[in-house]
Structure 1
Amino acid sequence: MGRRSYSFPVLLISLLFVTISLSTLNTQVPLWLVHSYFPVWQIGLIGSSYFVGNLVGTIVANWFIGKFNAKLTYSYVCVLFAVATLGLSFSMDFYSWIFWRFLIGIACAVTWVVVESCILVTGTLRTRGKMLAVYMTTYYLGTVFGQALLRYFPTDVLYFSLVISTLMALAVLFILLTHYKLPKKKHNTFNLMPMILHKQARFGLIGCMIAGMIIGCFYSLLPAYYAHLGYNDSQVANWMIVLIISGVIAQIPVGWIADKYGKQTLLIVEMLIAIMACLMLISGLFNVVATIILGATIYTIYPISMAWACESVRKPDIVAMNQTMLLVNTLGSLIAPAFISLIMDICGDIYLFVSFAIISLYYVWVLTNNMIKNRWSHN
């Protein structure tokens, strides 16, 4: 028990270094590309390549853990993260940056699987929920810290990469101080299709994809949008902090409201509020307030949808459903930036928020239609 209690905070410290690195890189990469006069569609595709890496990393993570164990797998992918970030400094080339961002996406997904697996294996029924809550809080705080620290990072790609490499070395050092061991699986028991085809979980899965689509655009395209408005790198980081911290603050109260009034009803209300925020941003009205509202609504869609989908399956299927939701969320994250960046290139940057409003309106229609059908069936 002593080792477990000692290892958990050390694991979170290691995660913090990884999250800070990822947060700074997710904002800085689009800014580098804007400064190098890359078109928006290329910025979107480079952003999508990171999420393709997330998808691949999620799928292969269990194999790597079984092959090398948890600590070594985590250490190797931290090294991969550092090497891929250094690779960005080799050339400002579209195809090479797609490749390096793809590798970074794999590394990040594997670290998340390792951390979440360690928590699920060592936690008990009484402590697992609290541990996951602390984990998510650490992740979000690391994201905010990364945005806040961005102004102190060097803007040159090579020196920036060296700072990231230092943070990755610290992450490896701390993970090696833990005592986690994960059980090896003899075969992969994960089957995607039964979870996707599960009728009661369908609307929660759609919510996970919607959240992935919009949040993927937040990280891939929103920094470029602000840069095109004339904001400097520090100001862009401040806007991202406002967006992300709004989502952090909203997590607990929104979760309480979801339990009290129902997840489907809350998701409809949230989507309508998000549409209102998008219309405010399109019109240029109360941009700070609209950004706060948008962050608070969009960042809470995924946990609510996840809880809703998991309620509809048996206990033995919860892990498989969680994996399915992560994959669906990642799929949305990699598709949306590529397509929306093309729309922005053709129609203008403001169509980023037009796209958000259309996506949100679609989900409102799906949920409302489902609610009406359920009421008719009960009557």
Structure 2
Amino acid sequence: MLDVADNCKSNNPTAPVIGLSFFAVASGFLMSLIPLSLGNFGLSPDLAPWLASIFYLGLLLGALRVERLIAKMGHRRGFVLFLSLLIASIVAMLLLPGASVWLAARLLAGFTVAGVFVVVESWLLMADSVKARARRLGIYMAALYGGSALGQLAIGELGTQGVLPYLFVIVLLLLAIMAPVLIRSGEPAHQAQQRLSLKESANLSRPAIIGCLVSGLLLGPIYGLMPVYIDNQVDEPAQTGLLMAAIILGGMAVQPLISYLSPRMDKRLLMAMCTLVGLVGVIGAIESNAFMFKGLSYFILGAASFALYPIAISLACDKLPSTKIVSATEVMLLCYSLGSVAGPLLALSLSDKGHGMMIYLAICLLSTCLYMLLKSLQKLDGQTDRLQS
């Protein structure tokens, strides 16, 4: 068996990054397409938040189980399997357009997407230094969010009606599968992965856990409900796609900055700064009338919302050996999934208010900002006490 250093040297991120890029375009378009196309398939628009929540329930279930599959199959085969199952879920939705089938298909989709995330994140995080992990996470997030933003533009080009948009998603997922099939080198060498014990899981950084949880509370509604909210605020469907793209482009654009700052400053303070910037974006989105300024506000909101997860997962994995990275990413994905399941339903409770969606996001961002500031100050006080003693 190869040791950790040999494993890091043999680990090349080309295949997962290329596959992830195609997956991200498909997934980004699909997440907006589903709530906007319900009427075309004879389904009630009220099904949208339930489809979002059950998808994230599948993500949660996947976070509990996929580590064992990856350990048996390896990263490359696991990636192919999860993408194939995702395609099967979309085919089922097209062949049997009923509420129960769509709910079951989205549950399966959530499980498979959890597998994709754990495969790619653990593949990239098996690096030999904190800086290398931060750099790879930056590449990962840029590919994920850049692809998702590009996918939003398909709303204007392909529309949301009929079967054609779903066939486009399937073709992109087939292209994503081709990356690990054709690029057979660079997979991490097999290691005996170690599960985190309950005590080790409990001892993971609390701000890291909260950061992943809040990331889900924000991104679940952004992916599941924001397209409907924006559609009610604008005049043309193309504007919905552009504003959704602005959100995700913000998430992509901020990743190089996060990769640079994450190893160089306290990650708790960095998360506090991000959530404070997100509040500015929320206020701008509500108050702006001009489309350009509204787009800029959504861009800022996206940058803040999508920054939390990579910072939090990097904080959780900073001091862990590579043999426990898969288990740690699984725990973090579990926390993210819990937030993503609850987020759309919590946001729905404020839907009777004019800007209920934005009010919900503001509450999440403000409370997280205060918590991270408090934790950052506590750490600074602890360091000062140690220096004085």
State if a TM-score over 0.5 links the two structures.
Answer: yes
Pick from 271, 276, 280: which aligns with 1:272?
276
Q: CA deviation at 1:225?
A: 0.3
CA distance in 2, matches of 1:114, 1:259: 23
CA contact 2:10–2:189 (8 Å) conserved in 1: no
CA contact 2:194–2:324 (8 Å) conserved in 1: no
Structure 2 vs 1, CA of residues 25 and 307 (structure 1 numbering), >3 Å: closer, same or farther? same
Query: Mind listing any 5+ residue stretches in structure 1 that lack a counterpart?
Result: none
Partner residue in 2 for 1:251: 255
Aligned: 1:333 with 2:337 = no
Partner residue in 2 for 1:308: 315
CA contact 1:306–1:325 (8 Å) conserved in 2: yes
Within 5 Å, give how 1:101-116 maps onto structure 2. 101-116=106-121
Partner residue in 2 for 1:173: 178
The CA deviation string for residues 128-152 of structure 1, in whole angstroms up to 9 with x for no partner, is 6544443332222221221223433
Pick from 294, 298, 301: which aligns with 1:291?
298
CA distance in 1, matches of 2:109, 2:267: 34
Range that drifts further, 83-92 or 329-338: 83-92
Pick from 22, 38, 44: which aligns with 2:44?
38
Structure 2 vs 1, CA of residues 113 and 203 (structure 1 numbering), >3 Å: closer, same or farther? closer
Structure 2 vs 1, CA of residues 6 and 367 (structure 1 numbering), >3 Å: closer, same or farther? closer
CA contact 2:35–2:45 (8 Å) conserved in 1: no
Question: Taking structure 2 as the reference length, what is the TM-score of the superposition?
Answer: 0.82
CA distance in 2, matches of 1:264, 1:6: 29
Partner residue in 2 for 1:224: 228
Aligned: 1:237 with 2:241 = yes
Aligned partner letter, 2:44: F
CA contact 1:268–1:364 (8 Å) conserved in 2: yes
The alignment partner of 1:343 has SS state of: coil
CA distance in 2, matches of 1:101, 1:45: 10
Q: CA deviation at 1:212?
A: 1.5
CA distance in 2, matches of 1:69, 1:168: 20
Aligned partner letter, 1:94: A
Aligned partner letter, 1:277: G
CA contact 1:204–1:306 (8 Å) conserved in 2: yes
CA distance in 2, matches of 1:7, 1:303: 20
Pick from 67, 83, 90: which aligns with 1:85?
90
Partner residue in 1 for 2:195: 190
CA distance in 2, matches of 1:371, 1:272: 14
Aligned partner letter, 1:12: V
Question: Taking structure 1 as the reference length, what is the TM-score of the superposition?
Answer: 0.84
Q: CA deviation at 1:32?
A: 1.4
Aligned: 1:215 with 2:219 = yes
Structure 2 vs 1, CA of residues 127 and 39 (structure 1 numbering), >3 Å: closer, same or farther? closer
CA distance in 2, matches of 1:212, 1:235: 25
Q: CA deviation at 1:320?
A: 3.8
Pick from 314, 321, 328: which aligns with 1:321?
328
CA contact 1:50–1:102 (8 Å) conserved in 2: yes
Partner residue in 1 for 2:285: 281
The CA deviation string for residues 284-304 of structure 1, in whole angstroms up to 9 with x for no partner, is 464233212211222212222
Q: CA deviation at 1:78?
A: 2.1
The alignment partner of 1:176 has SS state of: helix
Q: CA deviation at 1:44?
A: 1.3
Partner residue in 2 for 1:144: 149
Structure 2 vs 1, CA of residues 247 and 68 (structure 1 numbering), >3 Å: closer, same or farther? closer
Q: CA deviation at 1:80?
A: 1.6
Partner residue in 1 for 2:3: none
The CA deviation string for residues 219-276 of structure 1, in whole angstroms up to 9 with x for no partner, is 0110010122244432211101111111221222244445555333333333233223
Aligned partner letter, 2:228: A
Partner residue in 1 for 2:34: 29
CA contact 1:208–1:301 (8 Å) conserved in 2: yes
Of all paired residues, the percent bearing the same amino acid is 22
CA contact 2:195–2:324 (8 Å) conserved in 1: no
CA distance in 1, matches of 2:191, 2:354: 47
CA contact 1:273–1:293 (8 Å) conserved in 2: yes
Q: CA deviation at 1:202?
A: 0.7
Structure 2 vs 1, CA of residues 217 and 176 (structure 1 numbering), >3 Å: closer, same or farther? same
CA contact 2:137–2:259 (8 Å) conserved in 1: no
CA distance in 2, matches of 1:159, 1:250: 33
Partner residue in 2 for 1:367: 372
Structure 2 vs 1, CA of residues 318 and 194 (structure 1 numbering), >3 Å: closer, same or farther? farther
Aligned partner letter, 1:355: Y
CA contact 1:14–1:172 (8 Å) conserved in 2: yes
Partner residue in 2 for 1:55: 60
Range that drifts further, 144-153 or 355-364: 144-153
CA contact 1:192–1:320 (8 Å) conserved in 2: no
CA distance in 1, matches of 2:311, 2:95: 42
Q: How many residues align?
A: 371
CA distance in 2, matches of 1:254, 1:128: 12
Query: Mind listing any 5+ residue stretches in structure 2 that lack a counterpart?
Result: 1-5
Q: CA deviation at 1:23?
A: 1.0
The CA deviation string for residues 68-108 of structure 1, in whole angstroms up to 9 with x for no partner, is 44443332322221221122223443332221111112222
Partner residue in 2 for 1:204: 208
